[in-house]
Amino acid sequence: MDKLYHLNFGKSDLGDNPPKIAFLSGDPARAAQIAGTFFDKVTCLSEYRGLDSYMGKIGGVPILSTTSGMGAPSLSIMVNELIQLGVETVIRVGTSGSIQPDVKVGDVVITSGSLCVQGAAHDIAPRDYPAHADPFVSVALANSAKEQGKNYHLGITASVDTFYEGQGRVSGANPNLMRSHQGLVDEYQQLNVLNFEMEAGTLFKMASVYGFKAGCVCAIIAERVESENVVMEMKNAAVDSAISVAVGALKYL
């Protein structure tokens, strides 16, 4: 048995032409949507612990669609095991809240680099080690978005560990933020950070240290300059756009 513990599959499950590219989604439903909509001959490799993985082909190219779970610690486990299986490019397809007023719900953000405030990343590389996307993957995502006429933004993302406190939310169970977390939206806005999310910084540090390519495209589902709330009625359309941009980037890679 060559199965890796968390992925729950191994090289023997991937066939003679194993995938070198993986789409990574926090939500298992999104991983299934990517596979079900775009893959030819979908194979469900695992549904272990809700960390679902699917294999198929797009235009004859073998591809994986894998669930990372929420947050950087879970992502770090899944990515480590994907690299052990020979994956060479990982594209995160996520959701996000915007910080800049011109980044609207329904837009997509392509992350060129992350302001990485993530504990898991410190187990990969020092705090000051740069967290940047592969430039060729970022350009491929941008070309895909442009070709499809999507409203997209390319720039810096704040990658944090928590959905509430780490993103400056006071509407949850803890309205009394530490002083260091008060006013985060305003502070990051002034630094020209585009959005909040919870995984990309650690993914990018892993890519640089482990020697694989990584990119990230996120659907904007909240406008933090207006509200702390997710705009649920527009979420599905925004996610569809991010998925379409990720899949469309394959032709440029």
Q: How far is CA 236 from the centre of its chain?
A: 16
Q: Residues 92, 132, 181, 224: which is the catalytic one?
A: 224
* 122 included as an active-site residue: no
Q: Residue-wise over 40-66: b if at least 16 C-beta within 10 A, else e? A: eebeebbeeeebbbbbbebeeebbbbb
Active site residue 81: yes
Residue 6 annotated as catalytic: yes
Cα–Cα distance list, 73 to 20, 142, 158, 161 (Å): 23, 28, 16, 9
Contact predicate 13/34, CB 8 Å: no
Catalytic residue status for 224: yes
Three-state DSSP state, 133: coil
Q: How far apart are CA 112 and CA 153, in angstroms?
A: 10
User: Per the residue annotation, which of 132, 169, 199, 223 is the catalytic one?
Assistant: 169
User: Considering 30, 81, 132, 223, which one is annotated as catalytic?
Assistant: 81
Q: Given 6, 47, 187, 228, which residue is catalytic?
A: 6
Instruction: Catalogue the active-site residues.
Output: 6, 81, 169, 224
